[in-house]
């Protein structure tokens, strides 16, 4: 039986970063990454296969990244884990022994228990190239597409499908698309852009049944409003659940949000087994309570913690803030930390401040766009707890600045005078730098 120092199960955002990080801190350890798929996908790139990239083969993370660092890649499925023996068993019965194990088995899409869910041309978002090629073949022949779920996955697919000229409708049970990620004012901006891009929105509406024809192929979706939408393809994007089967069968502890329980060092209930990414339980940075957030950026950060700690505990996980961006046409939207709704639910009193400014200066600079920033500060301490941004291409990095300020617990006074840099073609003006202006606005309200 092969025995290695570190075995990583999962070869996506968490697995790759965990293995690469472990290598940085231990040049001599034997490291293997086992993953099911022949090729590793860029998971967040999946929607862009269908309008921008036009081919699943372009959405790949090359194995070279790992091979160049002397990390072995095994394409196989780990069928079971024996934590007492410290072995895993692969699909053909081969065993691998490990010194330390990192579980990075990710998540799988939630499948709605809807009548008609198994009809031909009903898809979910499975991170697997052959499956995504099947979706590509179907989309090439489709005309009317219904997307069930108006979260960021549904919205990104809708925008990409529109680039192919398809008739696209999003069905969302909540009053607004993106409502779990942004406050209503930002959802309204997003919905205006989606509508401008030609996406039909059926919000406050539940998909009740997927209807098929005699050949077993989808032909429509029946809504709670009584309306039936014509569809020759349905995409269901209603979230994911942690992939914890291996961990459960091995007797590892599971958390409240159904992820593999981990401590702040990313250790599971077995101290030689770590977990990172979508499969691992998350804890809120703000409340320390279990969190349902699952993002590639969180997976990578947890992997940087687990990858180091397998060879000696050094890094602690401060919990998830959640920094995320998306784009609809030329409108980018970002969020870091808590929205107003989330802050209220968590029990915070807060003050908001906003600014709407141009993202270059002077305004006559080419491709100058309006940027809106809203910040939330906890009322008593004046500490930044959340921010939302809508604007042009710099939105994502402005959002990441907010995430860093939140993590460092910057106060409104500190945010108003943090040292930023500006350039006419690249940023807002120093006179009304968006983050500082929004903090100044909040300071007038405490």
Give the residues lining the site for ligand FAD (CB under 6 A).
Answer: 9-15, 34-37, 43-44, 46-47, 77-78, 104-107, 125, 127, 153, 243, 246, 277-278, 294-297, 299, 324
CB of 102 to ligand FAD, least distance (A): 11
- Closest to ligand FAD by CB, 245 or 271: 245
CB-wise, 121 or 244, nearer to ligand FAD?
A: 244
Long-range contacts of 208-217 (CB under 8 A, 24+ apart): 208/114, 208/115, 209/114, 209/115, 209/116, 210/114, 210/115, 210/116, 210/117, 210/119, 210/122, 210/234, 211/116, 212/116, 212/119, 212/120, 215/120, 216/119, 216/120, 217/119, 217/120, 217/121
CB of 18 to ligand FAD, least distance (A): 9
How many Cβ atoms sit within 10 Å of the Cβ of residue 413? Answer: 13
Q: How far is CA 47 from CA 132, 152, 332, in A?
A: 10, 10, 16
Q: Which residue lies nearer to ligand FAD by CB, 12 or 179?
A: 12
Q: What angle do CA 247, 251, 257 make, to 5 degrees?
A: 55
Cβ 414 to ligand FAD, closest distance in Å? 27
Q: Smallest distance from the beta carbon of 220 to ligand FAD, in angstroms?
A: 24
We find the least distance from the C-beta atom of residue 74 to ligand FAD, in angstroms, to be 9
Q: List, in sequence order, every residue forming a beta bridge with 333; answer none if it has no partner.
A: 326, 390
Q: What is the DSSP string of 324-392?
A: EEEEETTEEEEEEE--HHHHHHHT--EEEEEEEEESSSSTTSTT--EEEEEEEEETTT-BEEEEEEEES
Q: Where are the alpha helices (DSSP H) in 3-145?
A: 13-25, 64-67, 129-141
**Which residues on adjacent β-strands are paired with residue 389?**
334, 373
User: Considering beta carbons, is residue 108 or 229 the nearer one to ligand FAD?
Assistant: 108
C-beta closer to ligand FAD: residue 246 or 273? 246
Q: How far is CA 163 from CA 136, 191, 200, in A?
A: 14, 17, 14
**Closest residue by Cα to residue 376 from 296, 439, 306:** 439
Rounded least distance, CB 271 to ligand FAD, Å:
21
Q: Least Å distance between CB 230 and ligand FAD?
A: 25
Among residues 297 and 339, whose Cβ is nearest to ligand FAD?
297
Structure tokens at 342: 């989330």
Q: How far is the CB of 9 from ligand FAD (least distance, A)?
A: 5
Residue with Cβ nearer ligand FAD (54 or 230):
54
Nearest of 82, 74, 79 to residue 93 by alpha carbon: 79
Give the nearer residue to ligand FAD in terms of CB position, either 66 or 296: 296
Residue 298 neighbours by CB under 8 Å, 6+ apart = 277, 282, 320, 322
CB closer to ligand FAD out of 35 and 219: 35
In angstroms, give the least distance from the CB of 240 to ligand FAD.
7
């Amino acid at each position: 039986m092969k025995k290695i120092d570190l075995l990583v199960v999962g070869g996506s955002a968490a697995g790759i970063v965990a293995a690469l990080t472990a290598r940085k801190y231990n040049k001599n350890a034997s490291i293997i990454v086992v993953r099911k798929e022949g090729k590793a996908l860029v998971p967040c790139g999946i929607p862009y296969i269908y309008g921008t990239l036009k081919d699943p083969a372009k959405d790949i993370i090359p194995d070279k990244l790992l091979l160049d660092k002397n990390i072995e890649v095994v394409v196989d499925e780990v069928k079971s884990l024996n934590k007492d023996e410290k072995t895993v068993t692969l699909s053909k019965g081969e065993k691998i022994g490990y010194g330390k194990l990192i579980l990075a088995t990710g998540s799988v899409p939630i499948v709605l228990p809807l009548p008609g869910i198994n009809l031909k041309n009903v898809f979910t978002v499975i991170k697997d190239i052959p499956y995504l090629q099947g979706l590509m073949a179907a989309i090439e022949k489709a005309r009317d597409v219904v997307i069930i779920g108006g979260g960021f996955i549904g919205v990104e697919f809708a925008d990409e499908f529109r680039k192919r000229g398809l008739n696209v409708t999003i069905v969302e049970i909540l009053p607004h698309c993106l409502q779990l990620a942004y406050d209503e004012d930002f959802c309204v901006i997003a919905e205006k852009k989606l509508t401008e891009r030609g996406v039909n929105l059926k919000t406050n509406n539940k998909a009740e049944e997927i209807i098929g024809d005699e050949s077993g192929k989808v032909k429509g979706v029946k809504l709670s409003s009584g309306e039936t939408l014509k569809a020759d393809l349905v995409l269901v994007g209603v979230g994911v659940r942690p992939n914890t089967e291996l961990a459960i069968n091995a007797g590892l502890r599971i958390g409240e949000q159904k992820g593999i329980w981990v401590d702040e060092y990313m250790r599971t209930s077995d101290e030689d087994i770590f977990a990172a990414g979508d499969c691992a339980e998350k804890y809120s940075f703000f409340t320390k309570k279990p969190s349902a957030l699952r993002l590639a950026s969180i997976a990578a950060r947890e992997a940087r913690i687990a990858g180091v700690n397998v060879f000696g505990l050094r890094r602690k996980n401060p919990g998830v803030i959640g920094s995320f961006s998306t784009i609809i046409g030329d409108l980018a939207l970002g969020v870091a930390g808590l929205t107003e709704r989330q802050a209220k639910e968590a029990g915070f009193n807060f003050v908001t401040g906003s600014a709407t400014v141009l993202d270059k200066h002077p305004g006559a600079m080419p491709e100058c766009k309006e940027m809106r920033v809203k910040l939330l500060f906890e009322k008593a301490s004046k500490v930044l707890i959340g921010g939302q941004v809508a604007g042009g291409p710099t939105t994502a990095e402005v959002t990441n600045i907010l995430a860093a300020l939140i993590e460092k617990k910057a106060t409104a006074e500190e945010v108003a005078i943090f040292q930023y840099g500006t350039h006419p073609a690249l940023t807002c003006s120093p006179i009304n730098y968006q983050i500082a202006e929004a903090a100044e606005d909040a300071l007038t309200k405490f």
